Amino acid sequence: MLVTKRRTLRVLLAATVAAAGLMGGAPFAAGHSDTSRPARTQSLDARRVTAWAPSMTIGGPNFHDQTIRMVAHSSVEGTALRIHLSNLRSTIPLTVGAVSIAAQADRATAVAGSQRAATFSHKRSVTIPAGAELVSDPVPMSVKAGQNVLVSIYLPHATSSATWHSDAFDTSYLSVPGDHTADAADGNYIAATTSWYYLSGLDVASPDARGTVVAFGDSITDGYNTPAGAYHRWPDDLARRLTGTHPMGVVDAGIGGNRVLTDVPNIWQGISATRRFAHDALGQPGVRDVILLEGINDIGNNAGPGGAPLTAQDLINGYRNLIQQAHAAGVRIIGGTLLPDKGAGYYSDSAEAIRQAVNTWIRTSGAFDGVVDFEKAVADPAEPGALSPAFDSGDHLHPNEAGMQALANAVDLSLLK
């Protein structure tokens, strides 16, 4: 299944997970777009693009008098870095005591002399209301495409149910009590997790980048079954293809378990694509293109609108909704065909019929601004309804690292011109 498991490396937290207490009361009503929450304001500077930005959900752990040090893997070269902090999915105000950014040397250790303090309207300490986000003042620092930076956030007061991205497939570091944002060494960082907390983006000024492309989807895009810290998700591979000849910021807006049409009962898997699209895709600085690869969770869970069984037309209507949102914002949207999944728990003859009908529509309708035939790129020639063994991570649903590269290679870069 695309429902992912939170994978923790070693946790010595004073914090405790608060997701269970919120399971019955997520503050988002089904059937409406996420316009009740403030979307990111796009920069008026046409040179500013998004270098990194995970999609955030509700249900993370609590923190108190602790510093979180997280890794952001930049997809593009740039300067004048801005940090995005999100309290979008939380229910109480968030006080941030200090924020810093530095080049990563190794794990939680910063390159000596690279650390910079981040400010927000020239203030180091800020309080973010529930449901709000903040963007830092530009930090005088440069980053290369493929470079890692460490963003450290000190949370002096008790939090509640962090706004987070559960399955980062990267390592974050948690400190002993106190403000350790200025630490270059990692001695005070005593625990590690594989999630991001409150850190929702990094954008840069880039005179060479041609804008931002958003890879929008579920756990296939999120990178499930790829090694932590390897950066072998298909959006990472696409970013490497774009570097040099066609530089663009690349955003991975995948959430494990996410669906196009309906919210997922597991709140950390996010509200529906139709509701989060305006914020997670269209709100990104510099966005020009979106590549959509989502729908297998709707099919596998037979999750139609209003609790009804899913039809191919239901999913097509959801795609038309996303296309309309993108075009209204002046953004191009490229449709990706759904991957084969024979052998996985989602597979049945009826589900396969829906997948095939939806893929035929994606290829032939002309509704999208372009098409990437992801299915063709990773299907088994001898059994087209299944992933090729060379690209199967083992669950018959998620591609392995070679499969992720095949997905990235399937994108015709001329679609992004």
User: Please, what is the Cα angle at 225 between 223 and 228, to 5 degrees?
Assistant: 70
Report the CATH number that the domain containing residue 244 is assigned in CATH: 3.40.50.1110
Q: Does the pLDDT value for residue 254 go beyond 90?
A: yes
For residue 359, the Cα-to-chain-centroid distance in whole angstroms is 24
222-232 core/surface letters (b: 16 or more CB in 10 A; e: else): bbbbbeeeebb
Q: What is the pLDDT of residue 68?
A: 98
- Alpha-carbon torsion 336, 337, 340, 341, what sign? positive
Give the residue-averaged pLDDT of 147-159.
98
Residues 127 and 55 occupy one common structural domain: yes
Is residue 21 domain-resident?
no
Q: For residue 49, give the H/E element and its range.
A: strand 48-52
Residues 157 and 243 occupy one common structural domain: no
Is residue 34 domain-resident?
no
Tell me the residue ranges of DSSP E strands in 318-369: 332-336
Q: Is the CB of residue 389 less than 8 Å from the CB of residue 368?
A: no
Residues 179 and 266 occupy one common structural domain: no
Residues 130 and 106 occupy one common structural domain: yes
Per-residue pLDDT reduced to its tens digit, 172-212: 999 999 999 999 999 999 999 999 999 999 999 998 999 99
Q: In the numeric block, which tokens belong to residue 407?
A: 């997905």
Per-residue pLDDT reduced to its tens digit, 295-320: 999 999 999 999 999 999 999 999 99
Is residue 35 domain-resident?
no
Q: What is the pLDDT of residue 32?
A: 37
Is residue 42 domain-resident?
no
For the chain, the domain total comes to 2
Q: Does the pLDDT value for residue 27 go beyond 50?
A: no
DSSP lists the bridge partners of residue 134 as: 85
Q: Does the pLDDT value for residue 144 go beyond 80?
A: yes
Residues 277 and 355 occupy one common structural domain: yes
Query: DSSP per residue over 117-163, as a string?
Result: EE-BTTBSSEEEPTT-EEEPPPEEEEE-TT-EEEEEEEE-S---S--
**Candidate from 43-57, 85-99, 264-278, 402-416 with smallest mean pLDDT:** 43-57
Is residue 7 domain-resident?
no
Contact partners, residue 113, CB within 8 Å, separation at least 6: none
Phi, psi of 177 (to 5 degrees): -55, 145
Residues 286 and 407 occupy one common structural domain: yes
Q: What is the dihedral of CA 228, 232, 234, 235, to 10 degrees?
A: 80
**What does DSSP say about strands 148-155 and 66-73: parallel, antiparallel, or unpaired?**
antiparallel
Residues 395 and 321 occupy one common structural domain: yes
Is residue 341 domain-resident?
yes
Q: What is the pLDDT of residue 34?
A: 53
Cβ-in-10-Å burial (0-12, 13-18, 19+) of 160 comes to: middle
Residues 350 and 392 occupy one common structural domain: yes
- Alpha-carbon torsion 345, 348, 354, 356, what sign? positive
Residues 389 and 306 occupy one common structural domain: yes
Is residue 12 domain-resident?
no
Residues 150 and 294 occupy one common structural domain: no
At which of 168, 202, 236 does a domain end? Answer: 202
At which of 186, 202, 218 does a domain end? Answer: 202
Is residue 37 domain-resident?
no
Q: Does the pLDDT value for residue 16 go beyond 90?
A: no
Highest-pLDDT range among 1-5, 45-49, 223-227: 223-227
Residues 218 and 190 occupy one common structural domain: no
At which of 167, 202, 237 does a domain end? Answer: 202
Give the residue-averaged pLDDT of 246-260.
97
Q: Is the CB of residue 338 less than 8 Å from the CB of residue 359?
A: yes
User: Please, what is the Cα angle at 91 between 86 and 93, to 5 degrees?
Assistant: 65
Q: What is the dihedral of CA 247, 251, 257, 263, to 10 degrees?
A: -130
Report the CATH number that the domain containing residue 92 is assigned in CATH: 2.60.120
Q: What is the pLDDT of residue 44?
A: 40
Residues 218 and 252 occupy one common structural domain: yes
Query: Helix, strand or coil for residue 272?
Result: coil
Between 255 and 11, residue with greater pLDDT? 255
Domain extent at residue 378: 209-416
Q: Does the pLDDT value for residue 39 go beyond 70?
A: no
pTM for the whole thing?
Answer: 0.90
**What does DSSP say about strands 139-143 and 148-155: parallel, antiparallel, or unpaired?**
unpaired
Q: What is the pLDDT of residue 412?
A: 97
105: left (phi over 0), alpha (psi -120 to 50) or beta: alpha
